[in-house]
């Protein structure tokens, strides 16, 4: 279809601006982003994250533990609270594989109707309480979409204030921002939780990020 390509580009060709000018204009637009952000990330990003996560608009749950070693215990508590069998798919991440999953049968291959999956997020975004997942050998994309209950460990130090803060220079095949459990508004515009993706999302924050400078986390004036 080189013809279509040539024809489209020909119709778009006008007086040409040099690349440097276009790049400078694009950069100038980004300089204006700061004052447009919803000014609400006040305080340590991980604390803001947990607060927003529990808001009705997002509809997820969260808790905080001191170290990753406590994750299996947190998962056991979650399973008990929801009367779920001790059978979970664990994201094939080395940090998770090394944990002592006593009393829980784990597997790495996720099935279409998996009840519970446990994962580790690449990072978090306080502004929207979004989890960031980067696809790769340690993080299959479908882990965030097939289970009914998704339990996600999140290192407090990986939570950053704004949507722009987790942009990778050379992103992997798939970057997913996950904000709450799946839902739909397709019937009469009203939000219903639990669509094709998980119906429940539980975030386990690891450690805390008290060292983060709360001033740096707020919006530049």
Partner 1 sequence: MSADFTARAGAALADPTLKIAIDRTTITARTKRASAIAAWPEFPLARALGRDIKDHVIAHLDHYLLEFEANAIASGARVHWAETAQQACDITVALCRAADARSVTRSKSMLGEEIGLPHALAQAGIERVETDLAEHIIQLAGERPSHIIWPALHKTREQVGELFAREHHGALPLDTAEQMMASARRELREKFLAADVGISGANFLIADTGAVCTVTNEGNAELTTTPPRLHIVTAGIEKLVPSTAHAMSLLRLLVRSATGAELTQYTSFHRGPRRPGDTDGPTEFHIILVDNGRTRMRAEGLAEMLRCLRCGACLNHCVVFRQIGGHAYGGTYPGPMGAVITPILDGLAASHDLPNACTLNGQCQEVCPVAIPLPTLLRGWRDRSWREGLEPASLRGSLALWRFVARRPALYRAATALALPMMRLFARRGWISAMPLAGGWTRHRDLPAPPARGFMAQYAARQKAARR
| Residues within window 76-135 making contact with partner 1, judged by CB under 8 A | 92, 112-113, 127-128, 130, 135
**Contact in structure between 163 and 38 (CB atoms under 8 Å):** no
Q: Quick check: 67 binds partner 1 (CB under 8 A)?
A: no
Which C-beta is closer to partner 1: that of 25 or that of 210? 25
d(CA 190, CA 184): 8
Q: Which of 51, 61, 101, 145 binds partner 1 (CB under 8 A)?
A: 145
Which C-beta is closer to partner 1: that of 21 or that of 210? 21
Q: Which of 20, 67, 105, 196 binds partner 1 (CB under 8 A)?
A: 196
d(CA 27, CA 12): 23
Which C-beta is closer to partner 1: that of 5 or that of 66? 5
Q: Which of 51, 76, 106, 179 binds partner 1 (CB under 8 A)?
A: 179
| Span from 62-70, 94-102, 137-145, 152-160 in contact with partner 1 (CB under 8 A) | 137-145
Which C-beta is closer to partner 1: that of 90 or that of 144? 144
Cross-strand pairs, 203: 62, 152
Which C-beta is closer to partner 1: that of 85 or that of 171? 171
Residues in CB range of 145: below 8 A, 6 or more apart: 182, 196, 197, 198
d(CA 126, CA 45): 5
């Amino acid at each position: 279809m080189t013809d279509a390509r040539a024809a489209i580009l020909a119709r778009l060709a006008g007086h040409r601006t040099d690349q440097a000018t276009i790049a400078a204009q694009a950069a100038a637009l980004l300089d204006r982003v700061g004052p447009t952000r919803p000014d609400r990330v006040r305080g340590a990003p991980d604390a803001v994250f947990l607060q927003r996560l529990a808001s009705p608009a997002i509809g997820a749950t969260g808790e905080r533990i001191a170290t990753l070693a406590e994750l299996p215990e947190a998962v056991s508590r979650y399973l008990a609270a929801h009367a779920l069998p001790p059978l979970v798919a664990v994201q094939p991440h080395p940090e998770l594989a090394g944990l002592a999953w006593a009393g829980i049968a784990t597997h790495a291959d996720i099935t279409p109707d998996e009840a519970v999956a446990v994962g580790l997020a690449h990072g978090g975004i306080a502004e929207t309480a979004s989890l960031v997942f980067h696809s790769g050998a340690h993080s299959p994309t479908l882990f965030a979409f097939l289970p009914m209950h998704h339990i996600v460990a999140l290192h407090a130090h990986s939570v950053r204030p704004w949507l722009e803060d987790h942009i990778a220079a050379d992103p992997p095949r798939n970057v997913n921002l996950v904000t709450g459990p799946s839902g739909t508004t397709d019937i009469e515009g009203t939000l219903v939780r639990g669509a094709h993706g998980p119906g429940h999302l539980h975030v386990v924050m690891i450690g805390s990020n008290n060292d983060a400078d709360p001033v740096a986390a707020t919006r530049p004036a």
